[in-house]
Structure 1
């Protein structure tokens, strides 16, 4: 009876709890604890960060910077006779890289400052996660360039060195005593040597082969497809064949860079599609890397155009999206031990 009376009383009472029920229904996740919501939110944030981190980085393996005229007057003078005719200051470069979606770059010491690395060193220190430095080897006969190379690597954190054969003393080759010592030192310190064969690979192929054979622990970078244009005569076919045969040295990498210098056609330099296909077939995409040659490329096709040309060329081959990723950044990241991820 007591139970029946209590039920009757509840049925006759006004529904005071109903407004509360309605309020609860307007909060669809009120039953989820604060802790659970925090965990879910953190997981979503982590997933977003992982998605951003997994986006392939675009790395430019070959460009230059030099002082603006004001910087040259104040602190970083040009080498006499090597005054630039194009703007190449770091602020202009950063603007170009942002517009093109390029994440990082290897700065090659420009001839405009010759062996004075102070301008490039200042840029490396200001933007340590953006840029990696390639210094210029000084082949002075007194051997002073060997110590300079060591200091630039160990003290100023340069991660590569460029051999310009046209800076060697007249009548001497890169395989002379000083050249061998610098090449050996580079391998000892774990930095690659880049070769600039502007006057033709055929003039320097024997030196490169000799150094690669004697010092297999020194990685090698061949700038600008070793300056091999799509061959149209026997001499050029021999040079391009020599380039492909360098793939037998596992430490040799090719820069698919400064396309305007090695193409016979205007942008987008489609005659390089066959050259790229053969280089990738011989070396593998994981030993090929894109480079712009900023700022020289700017009046040719623009910095952004330098990047876009590669995709257009690759589409004509065609190469896989994975191979394109290697060329546009993964090769450089691997070779330079993820310097741009720090």
Structure 2
């Protein structure tokens, strides 16, 4: 069975550039590169990954492309461009010629304005993505979901994927509100969802696989088998059980699905969405 990890990060740690990696995240407060994860992947039959930006600069795109040249398990890259820039179309045209660049992401969850994604200039930049056959990863928290519904509705031809289930409060077992909002965004057929980032929204040291079942039920029922995909969120997942933990968090649930649905989740949906 083809298995693709749709969400890995790599970085050379810098205390200013990576200020989000605070002292309470010591486990990942260091260089973390393909050599650190590559030996782990065969244990879980993972044959490739999508590398996702962690820094908001075009230098990040070059960095990830350089890693992909040396590590062929990196099958695609979700990079970054300034969607507010006047030359946004020129930048998208430039990246559209680079086969490994599959799409883009902006760290919306960190913007002080919850409605940042609805900014007119930002939306203009997003409106150009489909022209250049680029995907868009939505990095948001559950409080952003009502705005995200309006956002994706404006671009019915654009391929969107919600990262990390929009970060519900799994640690508190809180599902109210998030469930209805995730169902609402899933009603748009151009939106998919990554089953990723769950372990770090749970109790880092005490989570159990059962904790995730209510959230998985909502997502699988809302998006259906063709719009969900696996992502580890490595190395951030090292805060809460590592790669083995991520696999454990979904394995029994996914194993209960029909064979064709398992194949879609583990790899086929990723290939179709990102054009791998």
TM-score, structure 1 as length reference:
0.69
Distance 2:148 2:235 in 1: 27
Maintained 8 Å contact 1:188/1:218: no
Deviation per CA, 1:250-290: give whole Å up to 9, x if none. 01101110121233573543211122122112211210111
SS at the partner of 2:192? strand
The correspondence for 2:190, drawn from 251, 274, 278, is 251
* Residue 188 (1) aligns with residue 126 (2): no
- Secondary structure of 1:95's counterpart equals coil
Structure 2 length-normalised TM: 0.84
Gaps of 5+ in 2: 22-27
Higher helix share: 1
The separation in 2 between residues aligned to 1:332 and 1:249, in whole angstroms, is 18
Higher relative contact order (CA 8 A, sep 6+): 2
CA distance in 1, matches of 2:228, 2:99: 27
8 Å contact 2:164–2:198 — kept in the other structure?
yes
**Equivalences for residues 102-251 of structure 1 within 5 A:** 102-111=46-55, 114-117=57-60, 118-128=62-72, 130-140=74-84, 142-155=85-98, 157-166=100-109, 173-197=116-140, 200-202=141-143, 204-230=144-170, 232=173, 236-251=175-190
1:1-342 equivalences in 2 (<5 Å): 56-67=1-12, 79=17, 81=19, 85-111=29-55, 114-117=57-60, 118-128=62-72, 130-140=74-84, 142-155=85-98, 157-166=100-109, 173-197=116-140, 200-202=141-143, 204-230=144-170, 232=173, 236-264=175-203, 266-314=206-254, 318-337=256-275, 339=276
Shift of 1:82: 6.0
Question: C-alpha separation between the residues in 1 aligned to 2:92 and 2:149?
Answer: 22
Contact 2:164 2:197 in 1 (8 A): yes
CA RMSD in angstroms comes to: 2.8
Distance 1:262 1:171, change over 3 A: closer
Query: What 5-or-longer segments of structure 1 have no aligned partner?
Result: 1-55
* Structure of greater Rg: 1
| 1:217 positional shift | 0.8
Distance 2:68 2:184 in 1: 35
Structure 1 268/86 Cα, relative in aligned 2: closer, same or farther at 3 Å? Answer: farther
